[in-house]
């Protein structure tokens, strides 16, 4: 059996508002991920700042945290082999202007900030981000 890997995905407020959640979940299943945790919730700006602490000090940080707390989000724990890289590939480039055809951001992102989805970028960030939203016992 190949090694399974976990990653944290978020359907961001812009995509939830566009009713893109079902379409994005379909893409996730079609790409072979298993959803082992899922919550819909709203976070406040302090919680967004904690989640995105790695970006503190960047020019877009405050605006990003305001955006991420502007409405409901769906947080997902995903599992498959190479989940981190494969989810980032399915998301597409951060700036939708550069996102490849067939990616979620190409289809649903409105701007470099309101770009529909989040994905962890490495094993250590995935561990931190999964624990930010899911106590281990909640994952299936
Ligand atoms: P990714 O989400 O692709 O990993 P980053 O980690 O670089 O991208 O940035 C985190 C999030 O911050 C992006 O998804 C996007 O919502 C926002 N962001 C990144 N760069 C910019 C920018 N130049 N202007 C506005 N928002 C940005
Ligand atoms: Mg990132």
Report whether 48 contacts 12 (CB < 8 A). Answer: no
Q: Which CATH number is associated with domain 5-133?
A: 3.30.70.141
Q: Which of 60, 69, 110 to mutate to test the pocket of ligand 1 (most atoms within 8 A of CB)?
A: 60
The pLDDT assigned to 1 comes to: 58
Alpha-carbon torsion (112, 118, 119, 125), positive or negative: positive
Distance 68 CA to ligand 1 centre (A): 11
Residue 125 CB neighbours (<10 A): 15
**pLDDT grade, residue 117 (50/70/90)?**
very high
Token duo for residue 67: 């955006």
Sheet containing strand 34-41, edge to edge, reads 34-41, 73-80, 5-11, 117-119
Distance 119 CA to ligand 2 centre (A): 7
Catalytically active residues are 118
Q: pLDDT digits over 82-96, tens only?
A: 999 999 999 999 999
């Amino acid at each position: 059996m190949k090694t399974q890997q976990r990653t944290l995905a978020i359907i961001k407020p812009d995509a939830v508002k566009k009713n893109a959640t079902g379409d994005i979940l379909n893409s996730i299943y079609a790409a072979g991920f298993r959803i082992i945790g899922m919550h819909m919730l709203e976070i406040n700006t302090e919680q967004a700042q904690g989640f995105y602490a790695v970006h503190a000090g960047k020019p877009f940080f405050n605006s990003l945290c305001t955006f991420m707390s502007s409405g409901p989000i769906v947080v997902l724990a995903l599992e498959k082999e190479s989940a981190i890289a494969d989810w980032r590939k399915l998301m597409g480039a951060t700036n939708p202007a550069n996102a490849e055809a067939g990616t979620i951001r190409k289809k649903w992102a409105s701007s470099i900030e309101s770009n529909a989805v989040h994905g962890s970028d490495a094993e250590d960030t995935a561990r931190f981000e999964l624990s930010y939203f899911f106590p281990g016992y909640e994952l299936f």
